Chain A
């Protein structure tokens, strides 16, 4: 289907089902139950899942295929966000021009940074990209204040021209982002018994774009271009002595992944029209590296899983506080309850990074291929157990004969 083989089509279908049914899948617990805080089916959070999914899918095209580890991809995300917000300020509140511009601007920016950074490989490449990203961050934070509005961040105001729209709505407020009239924030709530499911227009736009981005990445992975990128990772020397110029291949991969990051940034601004310099900070660049490695670098579905995994834990673990813990462990005797809460305390709330760090370490040590490798191992273990059972059954029948 769509020019994909059977396996890839099934991957696409799995991701499509996960994305389109996310409001159900992420809301397994009734609204009033004690477990409701593990629900993640809120528009805001679901949007972040798929947007960071796009970011990680794009990053994986560079890192997973060519092995070039960029530590500055957040710069493209930030540039995309700024471009989109400027589009909302100048043109109008429709998200399409904003997203298109953010992809183009991020692509051009990636061309510039990639052209310089790709003169080196390995750790030097990583450091160059990191330096560029920090430069961009600092420029956005201070020097380029007229464009970026510095530390306050770029926001919409009532004075913006919006030549194809209105500066202010009839009731005097700032108009909201929309897709040809469909407001991104509009949410349809469906109550089924004790459950409440939320279907948000913005989320579904992001999800559809993420599916398109995922489909495109499958095509790239399976194309001659993708094969050349894997060859770059495997042996650049052989590439050069086989008449292939590695530079344009790596640069093309860099620009494509930069455009994915710009798309993610543009979508982020489309969901919530503001852009701040902190989106370009090195921690944001590091996060996408974590997502890709955690999910499984070089695999198709890994980055999506990694992005969802990290964003879920970020939101859920950081929401748990001591009070919640006390209610959970209230069945324990008083002293023990306090002790248990004391032990768990550093891992929750603001300390959720500690939990993430431990999870990341465990995955890297025991599952170097990321969550995808974990899935494969479970699958292999199940099929082995099944065949063993089959073998046992056969063994039992043999003597009877």
Chain B
């Protein structure tokens, strides 16, 4: 039994069957990659996992509990954090404030009317946020406006924000899309380090095979809305079905 169990999930948009019969089992503490050509339904599947979309059929269980019908913030509080394709951070806030907000969410829950105490008195939160910034090698940028940072730094900050919530499952949606090679390699190293050092499960949607094969220890290939294969990386590499899905039948 994996930490995330997707069973028979289907989703239709008008005339388009975006997902059908998707079965997926993500094992605890693994790095599970979901790959597939454009339009395979990777993002739709991800949105079904975080509460942005509700599948028409099937079930999604996280740690034995159904996530269907719950709002994104509730699913996050269950222990699933999401990293977006384009970094979603609080651009108008400083880097330190960005890091403090998930710490508050972890400590106080989805809503807390803490309107009279000063932020500066929240020593535990400040300490945790500072610690996380150091771990992400961004301590020197703590008073910078988050929007002013480079894309690679924004990505780093976003991952750090997710980690500071101590999630059990980290979902990444093409974390290296649009990045230069050096930034991509940095991100790979960071994710490797995270999965080695922490008690965390990572599910990653990715286009870049270099990223997938350097990180994943389990891969699901999605094509036209259904899983084609689920296997270990070395077996996926040589699988003719996968090649066909990516390169077309003539290849």
Task: Give A contacts to B, CB under 8 Å.
Answer: 3-5, 219-220, 222-228, 230-231, 233-235, 237-246, 248-249, 252, 256
Contact = CB atoms under 8 A, between A and B. Distances in A.
Contacts of B93: 227, 230-231, 234
A257 B116 CA distance: 15
A234 B50 contact: no
A241 B82 contact: yes
Contacts of A228: 101, 104
B50 A241 contact: yes
Interface residues of B, number: 40
Q: B89, B117, B165 — which one has the most chain A CB atoms within 10 A of its CB?
A: B117
Contacts of B92: 230, 233-234
Given A242-B105, A248-B111, A227 B100 contact: yes
A243 B119 contact: no
Contacts of A238: 88-90, 161
B64 interface: no
A234 B73 CA distance: 17
Q: Is the interface of A mostly helix, strand, loop or mixed?
A: helix
Q: B77, B118, B119 — which one has the most chain A CB atoms within 10 A of its CB?
A: B118
Contacts of B120: 5, 222
Nearest to B102: A242
Contacts of B112: 224-225
Contacts of A246: 73
B119 A235 contact: no
B73 A240 contact: yes
Given A228-B101, A240-B72, 11 more contacts: A3-B118, A222-B119, A224-B104, A224-B117, A225-B113, A225-B114, A225-B115, A240-B71, A241-B81, A243-B110, A244-B105
Given A234-B92, A242-B105, A223 B110 contact: no
B139 to A, nearest CB: 20
B113 A252 contact: yes
Contact of B101 (A4, A233, A237, A244): A244
Nearest to A224: B114
B147 to A, nearest CB: 9
A245 B110 contact: yes
A243 B105 contact: yes
A255 to B, nearest CB: 10
B122 interface: yes
A209 B168 CA distance: 49
25 contacts: A219-B118, A222-B118, A222-B119, A222-B120, A223-B117, A223-B119, A224-B108, A224-B112, A224-B117, A225-B113, A225-B114, A230-B93, A231-B93, A231-B101, A235-B89, A241-B82, A241-B84, A242-B73, A242-B101, A242-B102, A242-B105, A243-B109, A245-B73, A248-B110, A252-B113
A243 B97 CA distance: 16
Contacts of A248: 110-111, 113
